[in-house]
Structure 1
Amino acid sequence: MDIQEYIESGILELYVYGALTSKESKEVSTVLKQYPEVEKEVEQIEAALQNLATAAAPYNPEEILAAIRAKLQSNNGVVKLNPASQKRTRLLSFISIAASVIFLVGIFVLLNRTNTLRKELQVVEIENTKLESKLQYSEDALTETKEILAVIRDPQVTKVPLAGQQVAPEAYVNVFWDKESNKAYIDAMGLPEPPEGFVYQVWSLKLDPLTPTSMGLLDDFVNNTNKVFALENPNDSQAFGITLEPAGGSETPTMEQLYTLGVVANNA
């Protein structure tokens, strides 16, 4: 037997790919036992196929090899050792099928990677949106802080300290009353957090006779970081008081829940 001609015939590739009939496979197995160089060639073919499959995708090369074998074995024709042209045709058929399988695997990998990148991009966009929201919040907070500082430092603004009363002697509040804009800024950092279902209500007071007028509620007290609230105050106030009222506020102050009270300086 011409060993070189046998190796170059393509029969060994078909043997490795499982594309031979049972009889042909037995014949090749017999040759392998007799000729070590033929056995070595088969080992090289197997190694080359494994490397090719591994390079094509990060999937198990055995799966690709099995797919190729299944495709080849779906052909019902019988492979004959002769003539040589039929062997070459069979080999070319395998190469075409193998290339197609590898191409499809490559397409799958590309699509999978594209989907992964798309998901990663969505995550980045969400994070950017969160960062933009945080930045906007910071800018708004800075603007608000500057406005508050401007009011506090304005010599035309009247500052009225409110002292803690019997229900909360440790409490304190500062009211900054801008008479020109009819606004009062309530610095309520000295008030304890209101119980659930209750809210602080601010009152403008006339002293003689005692006449309370609601200025509004310190809404969302817990989430207000700096605890400064701006309320309208068109009243000719002589004093200010803050009471704890049921959620939604009350028409008249609950004096038993008077937390702070303070008199405007020229009425003291």
Structure 2
Amino acid sequence: MNIQAYIESGILEEYVLGTVSPQEKQEVECMSHIYPEIKEELLRTESALEEYALKHQTAPPASLKESLFAKMNFDAALDAEETPIKDLTSDYVETISGTTETEDTRSEDPKVIDNVFDRVETKEITPLWAKITVAAAILLAVFAGYSASQMSKLKGTNEELATELSGMKSEMSTLKRDFDYNQFLTSLYRSPEVKTVHLAGLPKSPQSSASAFWNQKTNEVMLDVQNLPAAPAGKQYQLWSIVDGKPVDIGMLENQFSGKVLRMKNTKPGSVAFAITLEKEGGVPSPTMEEMYVMGKVS
């Protein structure tokens, strides 16, 4: 598996942002357990997202707390009104100090007790804890709305961050490619076994230039194109070496040759020069001299 290609696919950023499907999520978690490089990149991406979110987080407005508490009413609970219950037994029995019960007294009309069946009015009181519960619910609802707004902003920020990370990854990939390219060229220039041949532009294309690196021990040839016009449709550049006065085909150049060191065919011992001509796609057995763009002698 090409681990680098998997990392550069962007699926790790999508996993961190939570935009992958359940199947892709399971795949990323599985791959991160199998390959330490993927796990390391995943942790690095999560850290970068967290750092970005902390850097760009927005604090609630200072006036929010005051406006919330201004809407709340924490009045103390009203004291329950106590309605004394009359001792009815004292109303039904009349005690006359110093008298004895007689027939006359028994025959007297019984004393009528006033207000026995009067309804006692009561007032419903809302407990303090109920008021606090309502206030807390309002506060929670307000903060939930604020949090939803902040999450929406954070999601937009995460999308921007994903775009920035993608751009950074592309730049890093380009820098790494350029570094590898320059490092490889340096090793070719410094190798005592490699002969460097500069190919200068001819009247066909004076601004063109290239460099051939000939390993005289193995006869391997590498080519670095500094400047050549893009090949027209149906055409392709071909590299030649001159051995014993005869041109030897040592390969076709890729159409996308800029920024690359091309590995060509091996030449023969005794090469005295190298040249590039523009031929039909796929190459020809003998060079077209009128289409020769660059040439360089082996010194």
TM-score, normalising length: structure 1 = 0.52
Indicate the residue corresponding to 2:283 in structure 1: 250
Q: 2:183 aligns with which of 136, 141, 146?
A: 146
Counterparts of 1:142 and 1:174 in 2: how far apart (Å)?
18
Judge conservation of contact 1:203–1:216 (CA < 8 Å) in 2.
no
Report the CA distance shift for 1:111/1:172 in structure 2 as closer, same or farther (over 3 A). Answer: closer
Counterparts of 2:218 and 2:160 in 1: how far apart (Å)?
46
Counterparts of 2:198 and 2:64 in 1: how far apart (Å)?
83
SS in 2 for 1:256: helix
1:144-183 → structure 2 map (5 Å cutoff) = 144-183=181-220
SS in 2 for 1:235: coil
- Shift of residue 112, structure 1, vs aligned partner: 2.7
Does residue 216 in structure 1 map to residue 252 in structure 2? yes
Larger Cα-atom Rg: 2
- Shift of residue 113, structure 1, vs aligned partner: 1.5
Question: Aligned letter for 2:290?
Answer: E
Q: 1:232 aligns with which of 258, 261, 264?
A: 264
Report the CA distance shift for 1:100/1:162 in structure 2 as closer, same or farther (over 3 A). Answer: closer
Counterparts of 1:85 and 1:154 in 2: how far apart (Å)?
103
Structure 2: 5+ residue runs without aligned partners? 1-62, 72-120
TM-score, normalising length: structure 2 = 0.48
Judge conservation of contact 2:236–2:252 (CA < 8 Å) in 1.
no
Q: Deviations over 1:125-165 (max 9, x none)?
A: 44334324433432342233122112113333223233433
Counterparts of 2:64 and 2:202 in 1: how far apart (Å)?
85
Does residue 121 in structure 1 map to residue 153 in structure 2? no
Aligned length: 185
1:177-216 → structure 2 map (5 Å cutoff) = 177-189=214-226, 191-197=227-233, 198-208=235-245, 210-216=246-252
Report the CA distance shift for 1:114/1:181 in structure 2 as closer, same or farther (over 3 A). Answer: farther
1:49-60 → structure 2 map (5 Å cutoff) = 55-56=67-68
1:126-141 → structure 2 map (5 Å cutoff) = 126-141=163-178
Structure 1: 5+ residue runs without aligned partners? 1-50, 57-63, 65-82
User: More helix by proportion, 1 or 2?
Assistant: 1
Counterparts of 2:216 and 2:265 in 1: how far apart (Å)?
8
- Shift of residue 215, structure 1, vs aligned partner: 1.9
Counterparts of 2:207 and 2:170 in 1: how far apart (Å)?
37
- Shift of residue 177, structure 1, vs aligned partner: 0.9
Question: Aligned letter for 1:206?
Answer: V
SS in 2 for 1:200: strand
Q: Deviations over 1:62-99 (max 9, x none)?
A: xx9xxxxxxxxxxxxxxxxxx9946x66xx99997676
Q: Deviations over 1:212-231 (max 9, x none)?
A: 31423043135x2xxx5232
SS in 1 for 2:204: coil
